[in-house]
Chain A
Amino acid sequence: MSAVPAVAEPTGAVWLDFLKKWARIGGTKIFNFVAGLAILVALWWLGVWYITLDPALEHFRSFAPNRAIFEGIPAMWEFGGIQRGLGASGYRLGMGMLIAIAIGVPLGILVGRSELFGDMTHLPFQLLRMVSPLSWEPIAVIAFATWDRAIIFLIVMGAVWPVMFATAAGIAKIDPAWFKVARNLGAKRLHVLTQVILPAVTYDVLTGIRLAVGVAWIVLIPAEFFGTRAGIGYTIEDARENLFYDQMMGMIVLIGVIGYILDTILVQLLNRANWVRET
């Protein structure tokens, strides 16, 4: 763009310049965001329309996005399904992730730092990792006094592995020279942990957490088949049993939104923690 001359310009042109600049940088991102979602919704609507062309499936038009957003969500809000569900499941997911991190990161550091521990636990952890969290359900029922704790246990059993292995992978990337330097400079073990290890693995840990959140979502819904009174999975099952698919899809939309927000937060943290040149 040509430089603005010192002579006073008509105000409109200045504003136009400003808008153009803004549209080019910020607007494109927002435009793409909205456009992408719009395409998704359009495809969704088309898909449902096509599938329900068969008159026998007329009831299943409730799968459509317009029904989900404009009928399903208000209906669920009215009887409190959304609020109670989010509260209950949010608690379980949150606690589950916290415990998974609290167990996974130290374990991962151990696996990464101690060759003995790593070798010994490699095989058992790999075996345990492959056990579908839902196979733990009977154990969860026996071992825990409340359903909340049983569900949290199931989430932890799914989420701890990505966190642990990502942490271990992060440790493996650390240049061994740093430990030498730290020791030479007289760092105690705690300092080595806090000043060298943790900052170095943050990126990988966050990647692991991102994966773990994905797994936790998968596990949450079948985990809530047990005797709870509220939850996202609970609300979805209620809707599903009634064949209220607009409510079910509405809940799914909400899950998508919340998951997206969570993931975005994690990515922002990731970008901050990323001291390597790029991703």
Chain B
Amino acid sequence: MRTDVAARGPEGSAFARASSRGARHFVLGVLGVLVLGIVWQIGTWYLVSQPETRAFGNFGPIPTFQAFPRLWEQGRIQSAINASLVDRLATGLFIAALIGIPLGILVGRSKWFREISHSPFQFIRMISPLAWMPLAVLVFPGWNWAIVYLIVIAAVWPVTYATAAGLAKLEPAWYKVARNLGASRIQILKEIVLPAIAFDMFSGLRLALGVAWIVLVPAELLGVTSGLGYAIKDARETVDYSYLTAMVLTIGVIGFLLDSIFVALINRYSWYHRRTAS
């Protein structure tokens, strides 16, 4: 229902319609966030009105926004983002892609591999990343690598299976045509396979990002002293709830921005010029 009728229209009106739709989209989005903020404030009022839960008043939006300048000054936000995003999340996702995409191609192309790997992959996939923690502590030389491992082991599955799904959509006829035209295997990979699976690959990476975010917070319970997950832990330990909600908001915003990048990539490579619904 939100399929792009505009995309099929003439150039000029498409742009006009797209930009007015974009503006409307933006305004409604802001409205939605405002509604969220109001709900948040109502919840806080309720918390504060009960004597039992008054101590949790700092969860509210006002203390949270007041906490931001303080935290920024102390450099805590920047260092947490740096430690989590750059060192751990990016590395973890990169390795997950590095392992997941070739694995996905294998799963998609080779029936034998798909069947042999089905049971062990499904099995490992079901193990909560946190159950890996004692093993990770034992095996990896540093805390950062243990955390990266936890992210990889959670994020590699969406990438693998999405890539495999993308491969399954390829028409076998295309391989025939390519081979008839004299394409080498590399050329087939570059010109046919990769563009075709790009959409699903990015969908998989997007899912992987989502899972990685969820895992990051408990993963940073390991012996590190920096990072967004550590900040959440620190905030809970020191019962500083405005700090907690400020960091939660930060995570939410960053996560949203990263996710939007992936959505843009997905739409760019989408065959049907269809806007992703979410």
Q: Which of A123, A128, A162, A222 has the most CB of B within 10 A?
A: A123
Total interface residues in chain A, CB < 8 Å: 76
Q: Is residue A33 within 8 Å, beta carbon to beta carbon, of the partner chain?
A: yes
Q: Is residue A134 within 8 Å, beta carbon to beta carbon, of the partner chain?
A: yes
A168: chain B residues at CB < 8 Å are 277-278
Q: Is residue B128 within 8 Å, beta carbon to beta carbon, of the partner chain?
A: yes
Cα A111 to Cα B251 in complex, Å, equals 24
Cα A120 to Cα B249 in complex, Å, equals 19
In the complex, which of the residues A113, A115, A218, A240 contacts B129, with contact meaning CB atoms closer than 8 Å? A218
Q: Is residue B120 within 8 Å, beta carbon to beta carbon, of the partner chain?
A: yes
Q: Is residue B186 within 8 Å, beta carbon to beta carbon, of the partner chain?
A: no
Query: Which chain A residue has the least Cβ–Cβ distance from B30?
Result: A123
Query: Whole-angstrom distance from the CB of B2 to the nearest CB of chain A?
Result: 6
* Chain A 49-86 residues near chain B, CB threshold 8 A: 51, 57, 60, 63
* Chain B 239-278 residues near chain A, CB threshold 8 A: 241, 244, 248-249, 251-256, 259, 274, 276-278
Q: Are B123 and A128 in contact (CB under 8 A)?
A: no
B157: chain A residues at CB < 8 Å are 214
Q: Are B128 and A119 in contact (CB under 8 A)?
A: no
The segment out of A3-11, A96-104, A182-190, A248-256 that lies at the interface is A248-256
Cα A161 to Cα B125 in complex, Å, equals 19
B128: chain A residues at CB < 8 Å are 217-218, 220-221, 255
A131: chain B residues at CB < 8 Å are 248, 251-252
Q: Are A35 and B116 in contact (CB under 8 A)?
A: yes
Q: Is residue B47 within 8 Å, beta carbon to beta carbon, of the partner chain?
A: yes
Cα A35 to Cα B251 in complex, Å, equals 42
Q: Are B118 and A259 in contact (CB under 8 A)?
A: no
Q: Are A112 and B1 in contact (CB under 8 A)?
A: yes
Q: Are B36 and A124 in contact (CB under 8 A)?
A: yes
Q: A165-B278, A256-B124 given as contacts; is B232 within 8 A of A36 (CB)? A: no
Query: Which chain B residue has the least Cβ–Cβ distance from A126?
Result: B256
Contact with B along A194-234 (1 / 0, CB 8 A): 00000000000000000100110111111000000000000
* Chain B 207-249 residues near chain A, CB threshold 8 A: 207, 210-211, 213-218, 221, 229, 232, 236, 241, 244, 248-249
B138: chain A residues at CB < 8 Å are 51, 57, 60, 63
Cα A151 to Cα B123 in complex, Å, equals 24
Q: A138-B56, A138-B236, A245-B134 given as contacts; is B120 within 8 A of A128 (CB)? A: no
Q: A120-B29, A138-B244 given as contacts; is B253 within 8 A of A127 (CB)? A: yes
Cα A158 to Cα B2 in complex, Å, equals 27
Q: A138-B236, A221-B128 given as contacts; is B259 within 8 A of A215 (CB)? A: no
In the complex, which of the residues B130, B244, B248 contacts A222, with contact meaning CB atoms closer than 8 Å? B130
Q: Are B1 and A115 in contact (CB under 8 A)?
A: yes
Cα A116 to Cα B2 in complex, Å, equals 11
Q: Is residue A152 within 8 Å, beta carbon to beta carbon, of the partner chain?
A: no
Q: Are A122 and B32 in contact (CB under 8 A)?
A: yes
Query: Whole-angstrom distance from the CB of B59 to the nearest CB of chain A?
Result: 7
Cα A123 to Cα B129 in complex, Å, equals 28
Q: Is residue B181 within 8 Å, beta carbon to beta carbon, of the partner chain?
A: no
Q: Are B126 and A171 in contact (CB under 8 A)?
A: no
Contact with A along B119-155 (1 / 0, CB 8 A): 1101111111111001100110000000000000010
Q: Are B214 and A256 in contact (CB under 8 A)?
A: no
In the complex, which of the residues A112, A116, A128, A217 contacts B36, with contact meaning CB atoms closer than 8 Å? A128
Q: Is residue A129 within 8 Å, beta carbon to beta carbon, of the partner chain?
A: yes
Cα A139 to Cα B43 in complex, Å, equals 10
Cα A128 to Cα B252 in complex, Å, equals 7
Cα A115 to Cα B210 in complex, Å, equals 24
Cα A65 to Cα B123 in complex, Å, equals 14
Q: Are A138 and B241 in contact (CB under 8 A)?
A: yes
Query: Whole-angstrom distance from the CB of B199 to the nearest CB of chain A?
Result: 13
Q: Which of B118, B126, B158 has the most CB of A within 10 A?
A: B126
Q: Is residue B53 within 8 Å, beta carbon to beta carbon, of the partner chain?
A: yes
Q: A57-B138, A138-B56, A169-B276 given as contacts; is B130 within 8 A of A32 (CB)? A: no
Query: Which chain A residue has the least Cβ–Cβ distance from B210?
Result: A129
* Known A28-B115, A219-B214; 5 more pairs at CB < 8 Å: A63-B135, A138-B236, A158-B214, A252-B127, A259-B127
Task: Please provide the 6 A-B residue pairs with the shortest distance between their CB atoms, ordered closest to farther.
Answer: A259-B126, A130-B255, A40-B120, A172-B277, A119-B28, A132-B217
Q: Which residues of B are interface residues toward A (Cβ below 8 A)?
A: 1-3, 24-25, 28-33, 35-36, 47, 53, 56, 59, 112, 115-120, 122-131, 134-135, 138-139, 154, 157-158, 165, 168, 207, 210-211, 213-218, 221, 229, 232, 236, 241, 244, 248-249, 251-256, 259, 274, 276-278
